[in-house]
Structure 1
Amino acid sequence: MSQDYRCFASARRRCYALLFDHRTRSGRRMETFWIVISMLSVLSLFIESSASDLFPNSPKILLQLGLMEVVFTAVFTVEYLLRLISSPRKTRYPLSFFGIVDLCTVLPMYIIWLMPSLTLSANLMVLIRLLRVLRVLRVLKLLRYMSDAGILWRSLMRARRKLGIFFGFVAIILCLFGGLMFAVEGGNDGFSSLGTSVYWAVVTLTTVGYGDITPHTALGRMLASVLILLGYSIIAVPTGILTAYMSQELEKGRAARSCQICLHSRHEIDAKFCAHCGAVLEADTSQPVEK
């Protein structure tokens, strides 16, 4: 019994190293495999959505794409189960962001299999399309294998308060100008409600300018001009906030890597040799992040 348990524990550790630790050669190979599979599955989904236009003379193409989807679903199901088994903390992975993404990408096919009557109801076609489009979430699986994405995520988390204050201020401006434009235009020329007027303010502040709703009074055009100039002046604020926090994250990563020979620090995260003495830098020995 103990021998069987040791074999299971060894296999579980091996599985964890392959799926969660990308610092080893086998882990990097497995990482490449999952990247390719994820990209192929998303490409297959886009081809399936326009198969009738791309392959008008191939009536069996939908069947072939369906078989490919079965294979992709089976592969991702095995991945989810292996991650669930090998995860040291049983409740952390299923409730994590990537755990939910992994689950959502395999559920649509099983829901259709378990409830085939859904495909026979015309009123539920929107639900069917939604279940199929959920497979697009597989593109989010690529974020797991982008190490630099962690820098962006940590920067967003640190800057969330300042960004929240900024977007709250923007929301106040949009409501103010939307209300003013509704009053100035008198409900005419498309400004039929406060909601529509705020929509116009959003489009104008972001300098998109669809042109579907435009002011026709002189005062309304003055307000639109002010809002456009205001949009140009504040559009760089969230970029500056996020850039500052990203610079801090990059600096922390450089300071953490120091040479064991000359003690020189501030190396790039992916540097292999010391920029000061040329000695070989030690590999990053931090614990793999459970994703």
Structure 2
Amino acid sequence: MPTRDEKNFDPNSLKGKTHEIIFEANTFWGKTFDVSLLILIVISIAVLMLESVDAYNILYYKYFYYIEWVLTILFSIEYAARLYAVKKPMKYATSFYGVIDLLAILPTYLEFFIVGTHFFMVLRVMRLLRIFRIFKLVQFLNERNTLAYSLRRSWPKISYFLFFLLLTVCVIGTLIYLIEGGNPSSSFENIPVSIYWAIVTLTTVGYGDITPITPLGQFLASAIMIMGYSIIAVPTGIISAEIARHKSGDDLEILVCQYCSEETHLPNAEFCHQCGHPL
């Protein structure tokens, strides 16, 4: 039995057309919107980076200021249009991309209302928050749905692997502490420090701030380094196996539900697997 929202939804209405342009990418205007927004995001990130260079900021501060306000107004219009186009604006506003959209415009407005020299550090933080706009670029990668779907499918296996890895570094940290801890010149002062060393060594990072000095400790360290290469490959293999099941990014289409904004739907799906509403 269709709900009242389903009966009132008309794809040819202004709201339906707005939703199609903003959330879908298989139409001319949808692609035009995505490309235009992509260009604006790149410009915004470039301006943010150039602002951090004192020489450019002194010379072109006025231009940066005006460009930022133009971009903020355009992003504000886009954010308002997204809220208008969905059936449940609050649900979109609290979603990952909704929060990112808000962070794309909020810093400039806060910077405008916060005045006084003692707020300089706050203003600096607000400016740097604009870097979150880079996450909006993810919306334009068609492969993101395949990757997100594969990560969700892989998460149970990866979580078991991470739990096993946590146990492993605890055991290794305790062993190296037993081996090296009794030496007065050793840096392995306690088990937490030893576990830190185990994590650094197992991940093959090797800062070198803590090193074993006994032959047995060095032998254990060598074994951990070799083991680290195989351990790093495990999560990669798990995720790759899931991606291989979807031989290409075409297996997951970008069909966006207007009711809950869920995007990862299977091919030819007629209903949203998240909320059950028709697509």
Band of TM-score, shorter chain: 0.7 to 0.9
**How is 1:238-277 mapped onto 2 (pairs within 5 angstroms)?**
238-250=235-247, 253=250
Question: Is residue 2:26 matched to residue 1:28?
Answer: no
Q: Give yes or no for contact 2:143–2:249 (8 Å, CA) kept in 1.
A: no
The match for 2:223 is 226
1:252 shift after superposition: 9.5
Candidates 158, 161, 180, aligned match of 1:163? 158
Q: 1:133 aligned to 2:131?
A: no
| Residues 21, 288 of structure 1: 8 Å contact kept | no
C-alpha separation in 1, matches of 2:162 and 2:230 = 14
TM-score (norm 2): 0.79
Q: CA RMSD in A?
A: 2.9
Q: Is the 8 A contact 1:76 1:106 kept in 2?
A: yes
Counterpart for residue 107 of structure 1: 106
Whichever residue aligns with residue 24 of structure 1, its letter is T
Aligned to 1:199: 196
Match of 2:96 in 1: 97
3-state secondary structure, aligned to 2:89 = coil
Aligned pairs, how many? 248
Does residue 177 of structure 1 match 2:177? no
Q: Which runs of 5+ in 2 are unaligned?
A: 1-11, 254-266, 275-279
**TM-aligned CA distance change 1:38 to 1:184, over 3 Å:** same
**1:86 matched residue in structure 2:** 85
In 1, are the aligned partners of 2:146 and 2:251 still within 8 Å (CA)? no
**C-alpha deviation, 1:130, in angstroms:** 3.3
Tell which deviates more after alignment, 168-177 or 142-151.
168-177
Deviations 1:93-134 (A, max 9, x none): 1122111111122222222223324x5246xx2x44433222
Corresponding residue for residue 269 of structure 1: none
**Could you tell me how far apart the structure 1 residues matched to 2:252 and 2:126 are?**
46
Give aligned-pair identity as a percent.
33
Please tell me whether residue 43 in structure 1 is matched to residue 46 in structure 2.
Answer: yes
Which residue, out of 97, 120, 128, partners 2:118?
120
The CA distance in 2 between the partners of 1:129 and 1:68, in whole Å, is 17
Equivalent of 2:206 in 209, 214, 231: 209
In 2: Cα distance, 1:288 partner to 1:93 partner: 19
Give 5+ residue unaligned stretches, structure 1.
1-8, 257-283
Alignment deviations for residues 60-109 of structure 1 (CA, whole Å, 9 cap, x no partner): 32232222222222111111111011112223311221111111222222
Mapped to 1, the partners of 2:28 and 2:268 lie a distance apart of 15
TM-score between both structures, scaled by the size of structure 1: 0.76
Could you say what secondary structure the match of 2:246 adopts?
helix
- The aligned residue for residue 77 of structure 1 is 76
Q: Structure 1 residues 176 and 39, CA, compared in 2 at 3 Å: closer, same or farther?
A: same
State the alpha-carbon separation in 2 of the partners of residues 103 and 198 from structure 1.
Answer: 40
Tell me the secondary structure at the aligned position of residue 210 of structure 1: coil
Bigger relative contact order, structure 1 or 2 (CA pairs below 8 A, ≥6 apart) = 2
